């Protein structure tokens, strides 16, 4: 009973698996507590593809996807750096910068990020357009107990949240694969056509926990 009371007090929804097709997570305010923890199906990655769609009106730095291990707080981080207008992927704490994107506010954006441990190359796909490949870190896998977070950027394993890096808006269709999707598969994701669901994180069978003020709502559809 004490444990149940504590979970209610903290606003934590215990882990469960749900099909979130047609749904989205809504993060309605800046905070250093509210987040969604995603529980991956597997641990240890030699390659990754992470895709998601997001919608925000915040004109500041914010985390789009944060994956940490005990040895690397930024094992796989996708971050929007507002001052330089850059998407900044981090892999095992090594960062690269991608500028030149039309990151409009109050607009849905589809973003996929890929990484291969053999070459160390990272690539970002933004609304169907691929970036060049850039070098981060090679020769090592992402190992250790993985914690994946939406809504916050982890400065430590599972914590260290900074309100100034929190996400405000909506996120949907989060998938993660332990291999690099083909360009055709990424285009299919971008265009919301048939694509293989993630084998590590699968939006259609997502294992997650909500802490704080995060809502599950029907995905906003634009009618013509």
pLDDT in tens, 97-113: 999 999 999 999 999 99
Q: Is the predicted pLDDT of residue 211 greater than 60, yes or no?
A: yes
- How many Å apart are CA 23 and CA 35, to the nearest integer? 16
In terms of DSSP bridges, do strands 62-68 and 147-150 run parallel, antiparallel, or are they unpaired?
antiparallel
pLDDT (tens digit per residue) in 57-86: 999 999 999 999 999 999 999 999 999 999
pLDDT score recorded for residue 66: 98
pTM of the full structure: 0.92
Q: What's the CA angle centered on 146, arms 39 and 154, to 5 degrees? A: 100
- How many Å apart are CA 50 and CA 8, to the nearest integer? 31
- How many Å apart are CA 181 and CA 24, to the nearest integer? 23
Nearest by Cα to 189 from 103, 147, 130 = 130
Q: Is the CATH code 2.60.120.200 the one for domain 32-218?
A: yes
Residues forming beta bridges with residue 55, ordered by sequence position: 170
Domains of the chain, residue spans:
32-218
Q: What percent of the chain has pLDDT over 70?
A: 92
Nearest by Cα to 127 from 106, 104, 148 = 104
């Amino acid at each position: 009973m004490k444990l149940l009371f504590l979970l209610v007090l903290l606003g934590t929804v215990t882990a469960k698996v749900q099909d979130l097709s047609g749904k989205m997570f809504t993060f309605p305010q800046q905070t250093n507590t509210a987040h969604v923890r995603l529980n991956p199906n597997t641990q240890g990655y030699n390659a990754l593809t992470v895709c998601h769609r997001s919608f925000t009106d915040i004109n500041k730095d914010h985390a789009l996807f944060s994956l940490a291990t005990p040895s690397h707080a930024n094992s796989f981080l996708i971050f929007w750096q507002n001052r330089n207008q850059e998407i900044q992927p981090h892999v095992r704490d090594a960062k690269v910068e991608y500028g030149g994107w039309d990151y409009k506010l109050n607009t849905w954006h589809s973003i996929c990020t890929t990484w291969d441990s053999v070459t160390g190359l990272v690539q970002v796909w933004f609304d169907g357009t691929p970036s060049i490949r850039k070098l981060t870190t090679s020769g090592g896998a992402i190992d250790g107990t993985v914690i994946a977070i939406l809504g916050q950027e982890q400065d430590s394993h599972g914590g260290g949240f900074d309100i100034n890096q929190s996400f405000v808006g909506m996120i949907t269709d989060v998938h993660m694969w332990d291999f690099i999707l083909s360009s055709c598969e990424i285009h299919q994701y971008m265009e919301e056509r048939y694509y293989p669901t993630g084998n590590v994180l699968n939006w259609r069978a997502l294992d997650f926990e909500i802490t704080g003020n995060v809502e599950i709502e029907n995905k906003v559809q634009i009618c013509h």
